[in-house]
Structure 1
Amino acid sequence: MKVQVLQNAEIYTGDPSRPWAQTLAIAAERVVALDQEAARWEDAPGAIVTDMEGATIIPGLIDSHLHWMWYTLARDELALRDLTREELLQQVAQKTAEVPPGAWIQGRNWDQNLWADDRFPTAAELDSVAPRHPVVLTAKSAHAVVANSAALHAAGITAETPDPAGGALGRHADGSPNGMLFEQAMQLVLAAAPEPTLDEVITALRGAQEQLLAVGLTGIHDMDGAPAFAAFQALHRTHTLRVRVVKYVWQDALEGVLAAGLRSGSGDDWLRFGGLKLFADGALGARTAALCAPYEGEPENVGLLTLEPAQLLDIARRAVVGGVALAIHAIGDRANQLVLDTLAAVRPLDQSLRHRIEHVQLITPADQPRLAKLGIVAAMQPIHAPHDQLMAERHWGKRTATAYAWRSLLAAGTVLAFGSDAPIEQFDPLLGLYAAVTRRHEVNGAPDAAGWHPEQRLDLAAALHAYTWGAAYAAGMETYLGLLKPDFLADLVVLDRNIFTLPPAALLAARVTQVMVGGKWQWGTLVS
């Protein structure tokens, strides 16, 4: 049994009963002792003793909500983040010169809310620069796409194409499609685009693990669909997983999951089945998040429910009876209310399951205490708050007083599990921690020194808890993951400074120097 002792360190354990230590002993994959008890392990046969030279060590960070396959594959697509409408069209035009006519052009992360003219892009605009290539570009929210005429034609979309359940096509006054597709309608055109092979997905996921480790992520909860699950299983079989993965699948996989008897928690500490990811509504950026009252300045728009209440309840009931936990996307207050009602109805069927609401971006004061009462995890992404501020104020108005309400939810007893929603946002957890404790944009400090709705700021310990133990709790792993204490898995991150003794701005300057997962150095100068 391999024994390691890390000494002369500032170790934040995350354990409220013993938050700090100076020495940590590890045997095989787990922490076995702290401080004086740990020092005794230095005499174990073959023990490796490492002087950490005063470095700060924290528990391994877990991103509880990202789309890793989507991120890795999107690196080969047009990067449209922060571009103007004109710059977007220039990027598309340039790409047409690089690929043969008829080849698909795809891109991601455009955001019309940043444009001087914030209307959605159109097929006609794309046609003007790419008449001979099918083009489909996904919005930053991932809840809308714009396609040109060639892509619409390839997908068989015409004026006669009906809006699918839970989705809508943008249309001209005569009913013909204008190129925009929202929510479930997106699949009409995305299904016509070429799909990556399993080998391509495996290669992309394997290589990109280095990026996760480099920012201190020792685990992820992946929200992509079944193809990603197959790729992660291939990496697991070949012992090339370097971070822990909790995998959720989408609604289209439910029947297969139930038929196979796959239950939440199946797997091991490296690859674990989390449950079923469902969507109750859309997103703020696309103005499809389901609201109790209309969007500001749009009296007819209350967003979209992507599943009707009876349908959501039926799917949830079948999943829970089959032992499958639910992770349900809900952004608007109406959607959060519906999801809470649904989970309240199905929870008695199996109270051992860890259900979660993904995002919880806008929730009424009356609904805030319900998550804790029902034992529902709030899986939230702190970086959304400062990045969404202007958009939220424009479309939700005074309702933003109860938006991104981390402090209120925590005060009510809710378990928070933090993540990034990458590639919609960056997956660096230090940026997420900064957003959680300041409610400020990391680039320009907006809105001011106090932060946006500063009453919802968290202290660093609470924010870090949501990135460690809270994320472990969401996956049912909290009894042995997320803290640095005896019998817990030795997942840890070494930082170049003590983020607890410095101002919050230090989070933006801090750097990860080493990362250990399961007692093995996976990244940095001490790689095993």
Structure 2
Amino acid sequence: MRRLLTGATIWAGAGCVPRPGWLLVDGDRISEVGDAGDSVPEADEVVEASGRHILPGFVDVHSHLTVAAWMPRGGDGAAWRGLGDAVDGVRRVASAAPDAPWLVFWNVSMHAWPEGRLPTAEELDAAAPGRRVLICGIDLHRGVISRAAFEDLGLAATRPGQLAGDLGRDLRGRPTGELWEAAFGSALCRAVADMCAHLDDAGVEEALHAEAGRHLAYGITHAHDPYVSPSMHERLLRLRSITPLRLSWATGSSSGMLTAPDGPATAPTGMYGDAGREVKIFLDGADRCALRLPVHALPGLVGGTAREAWRRRAAGPLREGLRRRVTLRGTQIYLPYLRFGDGELTVLLAAYAEEGFRLRLHALGNLAADQAARALAAAGVPAGAATIDHLTALDRRTADLVAASGAYASFQPGFLPRFGPQFITTGVDRHLVILGGRLLTASGVPLVLSSDHPCGPLDPLQNLRTAVSRDLGDGRILQPEQSLTRSEAVRAAALEAARSLGAVGSGGLSPGQVADLAISGGDPFDEATRIVETWVAGERVWRM
């Protein structure tokens, strides 16, 4: 079947350069791409696409599809404005869902609350006596659970010092219910597993299939989940067989995505969907990211926190600031939240690399990025066999180390409106580059643009625009010199993303390449533009 799309603007070739023209699809491949003045080939079907833009299908290499699938079945805490709202919300859902195995609440941003903290286990118990409750912070690195959940997970017997300080404790050393990193990831993994068990297989499949459909509606033709529990591996293989969405994933610890993986011998065998085997390893956290700053940044950190507390007329920001670990070494200050020692990490990377795994490393701060680059080199990991996620706060020396490691960088410009103001408040943006697309490309790092959905916005068009505009959404532009060009942004969200996975689509809209298309209703960099059609392997699989 030969289908001719005419009258559109085609973001063509390896450079993703937009030009008026036409595109011929023959079966599952692109056969020809022509300019507006070129003669038009014969086709079995002509698709009139006047005014539309045809882009290569987006490849989101960092979308937590298997987490986002459960969000419609939980409570949304995005509108909560403080502890009172949270407790009332838990109480209402507990009454409305008496048989739910867990009461899970998502999208909670306690940083904006006057109290600056989540409810305690005691407060959750008062709102939902005897129920297992999990409240998830917006970054999925932090949350709080009720006493019933705490005991069910076996955390009540955990001694201080275990889980690397991931259990929140009061001044007497008693657990408060607050969880960080590995402890939070374990609770989330257990809650999802119990919700799966509560549904029949058809219900789980429906939830996952619906989330795959949401990706297609945004022009995403390939979604890569950066962590899928080994227990979910077979479900993802089943999902891949029933959805047109190209799908791949990384494995990790059976205890949760933020726990150190158990070693290659415990990982599922075979392909992981539409890409090879991959493992995800967290080197630092989110709020607890590993940073290195010059010592003269300290007054900004302290002063910015104090000013924010004064602006809100609340002690929450001060409480958070005082809990941060900060050390001084010479002329540098460190937020020392690395989750591995250098030698331990190098051994782990080498073990997975020797078994043919691609490596995906979470490194949000420059201290973690530095460790990632050095460990990849020490482990002898080949260029192109690893991706470092986030690289949110960097300096030039660390960017050069990342380039020398040969790793891809997967960054999320969609985080700028959500987290950019925090970097400005504390003055970190005066010392480090925040989500520096230009810094990375100038250093020679192959750049991939992704979402980190549901922590960041799923819509690739929104993320493209922010990568170019650097707009925080409140009239401020953060470090405009870090902007990408439009073609660079499209290339990073599609071609480079596919290449980083070793997947189809790395050649863009060129003859012989797979016909995965994202068709927008107008200029993709116009705020009003939306995706109107998605094609996978030459077939229209979604239409507005």
Relative to the length of structure 1, the TM-score reads: 0.87
Amino acid paired to 1:358: D
Counterpart for residue 446 of structure 1: 474
Q: 1:92 to 1:261 in 2, by over 3 A?
A: closer
Q: Distance in 2 between matches of 1:189 and 1:55?
A: 45
Deviations 1:67-126 (A, max 9, x none): 001001121011112421222222101012113389531112211111123234322332
Residues in 1 aligned to 2:348 and 2:412: alpha-carbon distance in whole angstroms:
26
* Residue of structure 1 in register with 2:493 after alignment: 467
CA 1:228–1:19: 2 relative to 1, 3 Å:
farther
Letter in 1 for 2:6: Q
What does residue 84 of structure 1 align with? 81
User: 1-side partners of 2:411 and 2:17: how far apart?
Assistant: 27
User: Quick check: 1:224 aligned with 2:224?
Assistant: no
Which amino acid is 2:474 matched to? A
Instruction: Say whether the 8 Å CA contact 2:10–2:21 is kept in structure 1.
Output: yes
Cα distance in 2 for partners of 1:127, 1:344 equals: 49
Give the corresponding residue for 1:322. Answer: 355
Aligned residue number for residue 291 of structure 1: 291
Q: Give the aligned partner of residue 421 of structure 1.
A: 452
Pairwise CA distance, 1:397: 2.9
Shift of 1:160: 5.5
How much has 1:388 moved relative to structure 2? Answer: 0.2
Instruction: Write the distance in 1 (CA, Å) between the matches of 2:342 and 2:136.
Output: 27
Question: Partners of 2:11 and 2:79 in 1: how far apart?
Answer: 37
| Distance (whole Å) between structure 1 residues aligned to residue 440 and residue 535 of structure 2 | 32
Cα 1:400/1:139, change in 2 over 3 Å: farther
Alpha-carbon spacing, 1:432–1:482, altered in 2? closer, same or farther (3 Å): farther
Which stretch of structure 1 is more off in the superposition, 296-305 or 407-416? Answer: 296-305
- After TM superposition, the structure 1 stretch with the greater mean CA deviation from structure 2, 97-106 or 140-149, is 97-106
Q: Secondary structure at the match of 2:540?
A: strand
Q: List per-residue Cα deviations over 1:201-241 (Å, max 9, x = no partner).
A: 3321222222112111111111131344322211334xx22
Q: 1:101 to 1:246 in 2, by over 3 A?
A: closer
SS at match of 1:75: helix
Is the aligned partner of 1:233 residue 2:266? Answer: no
Distance 1:512 1:24 in 2: 18
Instruction: For 2:413 and 2:233, locate their aligned partners in 1 and report how far apart those are by CA, in whole Å.
Output: 26
Task: Specify the code of the residue in structure 1 equivalent to 2:238.
Answer: A
The Cα of 1:146 is off from its aligned counterpart by 0.6
Q: Which residue of 1 aligns with 2:209?
A: 206
Q: Report what 1:492 is aligned to.
A: 517
Query: What is the letter of the counterpart of residue 234 of structure 1?
Result: R
Distance 1:251 1:101 in 2: 29
CA 1:370–1:201: 2 relative to 1, 3 Å: farther
1:7 maps to 6
Q: Secondary structure at the match of 2:395?
A: coil
Give me the whole-angstrom Cα distance separating, in 2, the residues matched to 1:516 and 1:342. Answer: 40
Amino acid at match of 1:25: L
Shift of residue 474 of structure 1? 0.8
Secondary structure of residue in 2 paired with 1:347? coil
Conserved? CA contact 2:423–2:429, under 8 Å: no
Counterpart in 2 of 1:52?
49
CA distance 1:19–1:375, change in 2 (3 Å): farther
Equivalent position SS for 1:367: helix
Paired letter, 2:433 = T
Native 8 Å contact 2:17 2:487 kept in 1: no
CA contact (8 A) 1:77 1:108 kept: yes
Contact 1:251-1:276 within 8 A present in 2 as well:
no
Segments of structure 2 that go 5 or more residues without pairing to the other structure are 256-260, 303-321, 327-334
SS at match of 2:535: strand
- The aligned residue for residue 407 of structure 2 is 376
- The offset of 1:307, in angstroms, is 2.8
Inter-CA distance 48–160: structure 2 relative to 1 (3 Å threshold):
closer
Tell me how far 1:278 sits from its aligned partner.
0.7
Contact 1:8 1:52 in 2 (8 A): yes
Of 516, 521, 527, the match for 2:540: 521
The number of residue pairs the alignment matches comes to 499
Deviation, 1:258, is: 4.5
Quote the residue 1:69 is aligned against: 66
Give the conservation status (yes or no) of the 8 Å contact 2:263–2:352: no
Partners of 1:164 and 1:126 in 2: how far apart? 24
CA distance in 2, matches of 1:246, 1:345: 28
Q: CA 1:227–1:493 in 2, change beyond 3 Å: closer, same or farther?
A: same
d(CA) in 2 for partners of 1:117 and 1:457?
36
Q: Residue in 1 aligned with 2:315?
A: none
Alignment counterpart, residue 170 of structure 2, candidates 149, 172, 190: 172
**Structure-2 change in CA distance of 1:23 and 1:98 (3 Å):** same
Within 1, Cα distance between the matches of 2:40 and 2:442? Answer: 40
> Taking structure 2 as the reference length, what is the TM-score of the superposition?
0.84
Q: Per-residue deviation at 1:14? A: 4.5
Amino acid aligned to 2:78? R
Cα distance 1:231–1:21, how it changes in 2: closer, same or farther (>3 A)? Answer: farther
The residue identity in structure 1 corresponding to 2:15 is P
Superposed CA deviations along residues 364-421 of structure 1, whole A, max 9, x for unmatched, are 2211122222221111111112210122234563456412111111111211111111
2:275–2:502 Cα contact (<8 Å) kept: no
Q: Deviations over 1:431-467 (max 9, x none)?
A: 11121111123xxx2242xx11111122211111111
After superposition, the CA RMSD in angstroms is 2.8
In structure 2, give the amino acid aligned to 1:374.
S
- SS of the equivalent of 1:366 reads helix
**In 2, Cα distance between equivalents of 1:358 and 1:381:** 9
Contact map agreement 1:167 1:304 (CA 8 A) in 2 = no
Residue correspondence of structure 1 range 119-518 to structure 2 within 5 A: 119-158=117-156, 161-187=159-185, 189-190=187-188, 193=191, 194-197=194-197, 199-225=202-228, 226-237=230-241, 240-252=242-254, 258=265, 262=269, 266=271, 271-284=274-287, 288-292=288-292, 296-297=301-302, 298=322, 300-301=325-326, 302-348=335-381, 351=382, 353-395=384-426, 397-398=428-429, 401-441=432-472, 445-448=473-476, 451-477=477-503, 480-481=505-506, 483-499=508-524, 504=525, 506=526, 508-518=527-537
Q: 1:52 to 1:163 in 2, by over 3 A?
A: same
Structure 1 pair 202–481 and aligned structure 2 pair: CA distance change class (3 A): farther
Give the structure with the larger helix fraction: 2
Write out per-residue CA displacement over residues 147-196 of structure 1, whole angstroms, 9 at most, x where no aligned residue: 12222233333376334344421111111111111111225544654241
Quote the offset at 1:355 in angstroms. Answer: 0.7
